A and B are shown apart, each in its own frame.
Chain A
Amino acid sequence: AQSVAQPEDQVNVAEGNPLTVKCTYSVSGNPYLFWYVQYPNRGLQFLLKYITGDNLVKGSYGFEAEFNKSQTSFHLKKPSALVSDSALYFCAVRQLLYNTDKLIFGTGTRLQVFP
């Protein structure tokens, strides 16, 4: 079965510093990996995805993620954090089988950026 793990419940970083939110995955076959962000009392916003191709994927709001097959990881990164990046971040894997197409989410990581 497909799954993702987000080992950190919360990540704290100072504004202007680089940030990393970790995600590891377990899939059979090729992974389809996604990051979504949830701001307080809001829905899930798509940030970026990895399907195939370059291991470094660029997404919205200056975020990027690095796909590492040997470490089965898909960590979310940003070179310089903003206070407005404070939110809940979800890693997800797309399970694509015959007649099945759904996202399986990690438990989420709360990012807190301090001024």
Chain B
Amino acid sequence: EPEVTQTPSHQVTQMGQEVILRCVPISNHLYFYWYRQILGQKVEFLVSFYNNEISEKSEIFDDQFSVERPDGSNFTLKIRSTKLEDSAMYFCASSDQVGNTIYFGEGSWLTVV
């Protein structure tokens, strides 16, 4: 069964460093998302991306965050200058059509120290 894959599975970084989280969405999907889950809390929407541009972003997705689809398969989330409160599990997700099921990856656990 096709799946969303994410790398790295776990990354530890120092505060102030840049981090790039990578995702390979399901191959025929056109809609891409990033969500995050702070330990013990609920899953929160960060950003949606379609047709090479951001469709929507949440209040969490400030100027420190950016997304990119550098080629036909990868979808990345960059955090320019990490803060302690960015420590969370980051989930990439994709969907083939608006309204269809959104499939999630296994997540990238980011720890900022």
* Measured CA separation A49–B35 after assembly (Å): 19
B75 adjacent to chain A (CB < 8 Å): no
**When the two chains form their complex, are residues A96 and B48 in contact, meaning their CB atoms are under 8 A apart?**
no
Contacts of A44 in B (CB 8 A): 43, 91, 93, 104
Number of A-B contacts (CB under 8 A): 60
Contact A46 B48 (CB under 8 A): no
Q: Which stretch, A18-26, A63-71, A74-82, A98-106, touches the partner chain B?
A: A98-106
Contact assessment for A103 and B102 in the assembled complex, using a CB-CB cutoff below 8 Å: yes
Task: Judge whether B86 is part of the interface by a CB distance below 8 angstroms.
Answer: no
Once A43-B106, A108-B42 are accepted as A-B contacts, the answer to whether A102 and B91 lie under 8 Å apart by CB is: no
Chain A contributes a number of interface residues (CB within 8 A of B) equal to 24
Q: Is the CB of B42 within 8 A of A100?
A: no
Flag A72-115 by CB within 8 Å of B: 1 or 0 each.
00000000000000000010101010011111111110000000
**Interface class of chain B by DSSP:** strand
Also in contact, A103 and B56, with CB within 8 A (given A44-B104, A46-B101, A94-B99) = no
Of all chain A residues, the one with the shortest Cβ separation from B108 is A43
Q: Is A45 an interface residue (CB 8 A)?
A: yes
The 9 closest A-B pairs by CB, nearest first: A43-B106, A44-B104, A105-B43, A102-B45, A107-B42, A43-B107, A101-B98, A43-B104, A105-B42
Q: A residues bordering B, Cβ < 8 Å?
A: 32, 34, 36, 42-46, 49, 51, 90, 92, 94, 96, 99-108
Q: List 30 A-B contacts (CB under 8 A).
A: A34-B101, A36-B104, A42-B107, A43-B4, A43-B6, A43-B104, A43-B105, A43-B106, A44-B43, A44-B104, A45-B104, A46-B101, A46-B103, A49-B101, A90-B43, A92-B43, A99-B56, A100-B55, A101-B31, A101-B48, A101-B55, A101-B99, A102-B45, A103-B102, A104-B45, A105-B42, A105-B43, A105-B44, A107-B42, A108-B43
